[in-house]
Amino acid sequence: MAKKWQISKRSFRQALRAFTLSVGVTAVGMLATAGLLGLAEPEARQAAAFQAQQAPPAERAAPAEAAAQENQVVLLGQAFGVKLFTDGVIVASLSDIYSTAGVCCPAEEAGLRPGDYLLEADGMEIQSNAALAHYIGQSQGREVRLKVRREDREFEAVVRPVFGDGAFKTGMWVRDSAAGVGTLTFYDPASATFAGLGHGICDADVGSLMPLKAGEPARITLCGVVKGMPESPGQLRGYFTSDEPMGRLLANNETGVYGSLAEAPAGETVEVLERDEVKPGPVEILASIDSGGPRRYSARIEKRNGEDQLTKNLVLKVTDPRLLEATGGIVQGM
């Protein structure tokens, strides 16, 4: 997922122009399909194109129908689980080690910082945090050369583990995955991709976007809501109900997660709007807050933010008494 997404304002406006709820209490993010965000000809698009060519002539979409489809999306509002594995392991935090030689932090002494991604150890790809911990534990205190990515550059750091609390350690806590609850926002039939969340998945400790190595959407059951309060956004609660993935993730960036689904979802198809066509006033939002699935709730667009803002394009006020009673507004995961 460590790609740089370069989107011109012109192409961003002219292509998919759908607005969707973000996780913030009043934040609304504008999502685009994976194709607009730099995933040139993703496998899902290639597979769909191949299947279309193999279909009998009578079943192929006419040019006018295909053009109309490109301006439409299927509304979802369905809660789903997200499993994401990072490209490398992220240094979440550093801590001192009480060793026989005294108190020290070998990782910090090697120049490592929270937010760094560790890609290789002694020339070997780091597959997981467990694999790295095992390798360091077997080092017997010899130097370990790490390939590190920090923002846009890569460099080498040499760390020497020390013995403390019964094992060789470096004083860094690392993480290689994330999981949580979100909402599938829409499905784009033209590219056979979905969009969800309305914001990127970031590391909870360092706040940086987590680069995607692999990931999947998963089925969940919602089991409760932590109601939002002032200074506390609240959240949806749920649990995974199947080990079988619904598809796979293709991208994680500032505006959300994008991917392919094993089965094209059913739902209401709507035409997307130009940015300038979205005005303040009453609207409906489609969201899941319990096991009953997506429902419509009333809200109001208070204002539309400037075009220079990639996310949080709208300020939204929830007006539906049912939703206010159940959640207090928009909570994390909606």
Strand 18-21 versus strand 295-304 pairing type: unpaired
DSSP state of 153: E
User: At residue 94, does pLDDT exceed 80?
Assistant: yes
pLDDT average, residue stretch 304-331 = 87
pLDDT average, residue stretch 96-104 = 85
CB 304 within 8 A of CB 29: no
Contacts of 127 (CB under 8 A, 6+ apart): none
User: At residue 119, does pLDDT exceed 80?
Assistant: yes
Instruction: Tell me the domain boundaries of the chain.
Output: 9-79+178-327, 96-170
In this predicted structure, what is the pLDDT of residue 80? 92
Distances (CA, A) of 100 to 107, 136, 142, 163, 166: 17, 17, 16, 7, 11
- Secondary structure of residue 321 in the 3-state scheme: helix
pTM, 2 dp: 0.67
Indicate the average pLDDT of the chain. Answer: 77
Pair of tokens at residue 79: 């809660």
Q: What is the Cα–Cα distance from 93 to 115, expressed in whole angstroms?
A: 8
- Please name every residue paired with 187 in a beta bridge, in sequence order, or none if there are none: 74, 194
Per-residue 3-state assignment (H helix, E strand, C coil) for 50-104? HHHHHCCHHHCCCHHHHHHHHCEEEEEEEEEEEEEEEEEEEEEEECCEEECCEEE
Does the structural domain 96-170 have CATH classification 2.30.42.10? yes
Q: What is the Cα–Cα distance from 291 to 294, expressed in whole angstroms?
A: 9
Q: What is the Cα–Cα distance from 203 to 88, expressed in whole angstroms?
A: 13
> By mean pLDDT, which of 13-17, 117-121, 139-143, 183-187 is the weakest?
13-17
- Please name every residue paired with 313 in a beta bridge, in sequence order, or none if there are none: none
Q: 69: pLDDT confidence band, cut at 50, 70 and 90? A: low
Higher-pLDDT residue of 306 and 325 is 325
CB 183 within 8 A of CB 78: yes
Count CB atoms within 10 A of the CB of residue 213: 16
User: At residue 52, does pLDDT exceed 50?
Assistant: no
